[in-house]
A and B are shown apart, each in its own frame.
Chain A
Amino acid sequence: MNTIRNILILTGLGCAVLIAILVSVITGPVDISLADILTGAINDKTKELILFDIRMPRAIAAALVGAGLACAGAAMQTLFRNDLADPYTLGTSAGGAVGVSLAIISGVAMLVPVAAFCGAIGSAFLVYILAAQKKRLSTGNLLLTGIAVSMFFSSVVSVCLVLSGKNMHQIMFWLMGGLWNTSWADIPLLLITLIPAGLLVLFSRDLNIMSCGEAETRTLGIDPEKTKLLLLGISAGITGLVVSVSGSIGFIGLVSPHIMRIITGPDHRVLIPASLGCGAFLLVCADTISRTWLGDLPVGIVTAFFGAPFFLMLIRRRTDL
């Protein structure tokens, strides 16, 4: 039966994420061996610090960020019935960027995460208000409004970049997305995203039906307006939280659901947790690569660099959606 297959897939993904985190923790410019950790034979304070206070929280943060982006991406793709939808479709990325830019320009760099979260959520809310004029929410409208609002916010960010002077690199780094600043302090915030992610799984039957077309949702017992609003809100919330920690990291939220749909099929009961695992795994790997061999390049660059060709390959291979 499929259930056994699905349990195997999910268990496998879980193990893969744990292994990736473990590998990430022992990989880096400073050489720390697995044996040292296991035997507790480290008496080097610096190594201990690198291991437990730098690499460990960073790998866990990468996993949680990747997980959040991927499950929000899966939900967005279904709600928009569009393969190109990702967590940033509602303008969350550009909105976050505006918040961050304004915070940095006004010299309150302390508030960057808060500004990012507010910008992201504010943008999603704005897109929703602008798109839903006549009581009913058309996803086509929403998608186009999202693009328009994103473009507008991008221009605002560009103006900020011009005005930012010596702070420009700070904004640039945020725009590219990265995890170099993460510490244990970020982990509780990121763990919160697992709650809305769990909610998405609880709504997976609704997502299944909505992915099959809008006409029959009402006669199948679903209020599409309310459900759409709720699930978009959940997805935007996850994205906002993630963006406030890591900036906008691209491709993870777009690619993970696509990969998993090929392996698990479209059923959201499996697809959402599987995407979550896949996103976590991919981002931990990407971050490890960037940190170890690419001089801590912003991980957003790495995901795009590897993600885009991989995605192209998927598109060329597919026979169906």
Chain B
Amino acid sequence: MKDTILEISDLSAGYEEKDILQEISLFIREKSFVGIIGPNGSGKSTFMQVLARSLPVRNGDIVLMGDSLQSWSFRDFGKIVGYVPQESDIKFRYPVYDVVMMGRNPHIERFRSPSAADHEAVQRALLQTGTVELARRPITDLSGGERQRVMIARVLAQDPVLLLLDEPFAHIDIHHQYELIRIIRETSRDKRAVIGVFHDINLAAAYCDQLVLMNDGKIRAFGKPEEVLTTSLLKEVFRISPVIDVNPTTGTPYVYVEEKWKETDAQNVHIHLISGGGTGTYLISLLSRSGYSLSCGVLAENDSDCLMARKYDIPTLTEPPFSRLSQETEEKLTELVKKADVVIVTSMPVGWGNYPNIRVLEQIDPHKILCILPSSGPSLPDFTSGVATDTIKRLLSNGAQKKSSPGELMEILQTTQIVNDYK
């Protein structure tokens, strides 16, 4: 069991008369990386200010490593807790090196100069944050992102046990953002706990062990990213319609926001989508969001298109992976494509197993078929020695339409001409 660094119970705090934070209770264990997320005005920054002691505690207790927060002398407090505020507006021309050295202040006796160890700590922090070449420049000459990196260098030089970051990456480019969060996380694995306010939910989800979701000055949820980032919580707190996916690079939750736009009449139009191998995922999302009544298939059960269709709860014909289409499924498919107002075919890989998907199209009016094919020609990854390609060519010459980009497709659907034409 790891030791508790910070123990917050029933905290309230705020500015002037109003309590911004209410009933906050939280445990922070050593070596943990906790992200705070929440909409604007939810009290994230206020919370950080209270922890950094720049805002007093109104009610409740904060216990830092066994002692009440207020009982710590500021000198000892500074050895334990480091803080990077949201904005720092240094308006004097201090060289970057001197600014980073300020982080060592709690470690330097009043009447002493910085020791060799202090200079070493500063050098290391400059290296870690990629600010070595800025060391001699005045902080006032740097860009917003560079300044923020210097502020992070300062807190790394300070080497605290508990690190408080208030939206540390607001102005930092994506390269340094990932570099810095990696360094901060590494150091948290070694020795320190980190509490960070993050604007980017997906970044927080990827790197934090635990997330705190704040809303209206209260903690709405606290737990592992996958426990906090749920559709219902995000919908309630952020007022968005989230789609929660898996970040392909980290395996952590990844939140998309759905654009809400509905075509009038769209729900009266039935589109059947024939796709596979991931060529239809975005179409499934796009078309169902636009409000079309959609069906898919036939798809293999483990196909990423099939997973997407399930996410949106779309009626889909399926077959077990790597099997041929059964007679029964093919009949169901024929029925669907005959009923559909529009049938869309993507440039999916075709083999003998899924060739019937295309074959059935020869039984319907070719004018209601839309092929999404590369602009280079009527080709798709063909594993049927050209039989599937021939079928597609035949469909096109009989009047099927060919589009090469989803943009073109949406244009057609939005004007709803095709829909009216073939109804």
Contacts and interface: CB of A to CB of B under 8 A. Distances in A.
A277 to B, nearest CB: 20
B99 A212 contact: yes
Interface residues of B, number: 38
Contacts of A267: 94, 98
B78 to A, nearest CB: 3
A176 interface: no
A35 interface: no
Interface in A182-213: 202, 205, 208-209, 211-213
Contact of A214 (B54, B102, B103): B54
Contact of B88 (A81, A135, A205, A215): A215
A48 interface: no
A31 interface: no
A219 interface: yes
Among B52, B78, B92, max chain A CB count under 10 A is at B92
B90 interface: yes
Interface residues of A, number: 26
A81 B92 CA distance: 10
A81 B89 CA distance: 11
B81 interface: yes
Interface in B90-124: 90-95, 98-99, 102-103, 105-106, 108, 110-111
A222 B79 CA distance: 11
Contact of A212 (B52, B53, B92, B138): B92
Interface string B8-23: 0000000000000000
B229 to A, nearest CB: 30
Contacts of B92: 211-212, 261, 265-266, 321
B354 interface: no
Contacts of B54: 214-215, 218
B349 interface: no
B140 A212 contact: no
A222 B89 CA distance: 18
A216 B93 contact: no
Contact of A221 (B106, B140, B164): B106
A36 interface: no
Contact of A216 (B75, B88, B95): B88
B81 A266 contact: no
B158 interface: yes
A320 interface: yes
A220 interface: yes
A205 B105 contact: yes
Contacts of A221: 74-75, 77-79, 105-106
B106 A216 contact: no
A223 interface: yes
A219 B98 contact: no
A215 B105 contact: no
Interface in A217-244: 218-223
Chain A facing B: main interface SS? loop
Contacts, number: 92
A107 B138 CA distance: 56
A320 B78 CA distance: 30
B74 A222 contact: yes
A219 B102 contact: no
A115 B288 CA distance: 85
Contact of B83 (A135, A136, A209, A219): A219
A223 B74 CA distance: 6
B144 interface: no
A208 B84 CA distance: 17
B102 A209 contact: yes
Contacts of B103: 220
Contacts of B158: 219-220
A136 B56 CA distance: 10
Contacts of B49: 215
Given A205-B105, A221-B106, A222-B74, A216 B83 contact: yes
Nearest to A203: B110
Nearest to B49: A215
A215 B102 contact: no
B371 to A, nearest CB: 60
Contacts of B145: none
B163 to A, nearest CB: 10
Contacts of A205: 102, 105, 108, 110
B74 A208 contact: no
A220 B106 contact: yes
Contacts of A215: 49, 52, 54, 83, 85, 88
Nearest to B108: A205
A321 B141 CA distance: 12
A220 B105 contact: yes
Nearest to A223: B74
A265 B93 contact: yes
B82 interface: yes
Contact of A219 (B56, B82, B110): B82
Interface in A79-118: 81
Contacts of B105: 205, 209, 220-222
Interface in B55-83: 56, 73-75, 77-79, 81-83
B83 to A, nearest CB: 4
Contacts of B140: 320-321
Contacts of B89: 213
Nearest to A215: B85
A321 B74 contact: no
A219 B94 contact: no
Contacts of A212: 88, 90, 92, 94, 99, 102
A311 to B, nearest CB: 18
A202 B91 contact: no
17 contacts: A136-B56, A208-B98, A208-B102, A212-B94, A213-B90, A215-B49, A215-B54, A216-B84, A218-B74, A219-B81, A219-B160, A220-B102, A222-B74, A265-B138, A267-B98, A320-B140, A321-B140
Ranked nearest first, the 7 interchain pairs of A and B with the lowest CB-CB distance are A221-B78, A221-B106, A266-B92, A219-B83, A215-B85, A223-B74, A221-B75
Given A221-B75, A265-B94, A321-B91, 9 more contacts: A205-B110, A214-B54, A215-B52, A215-B83, A216-B88, A222-B78, A265-B95, A266-B92, A320-B91
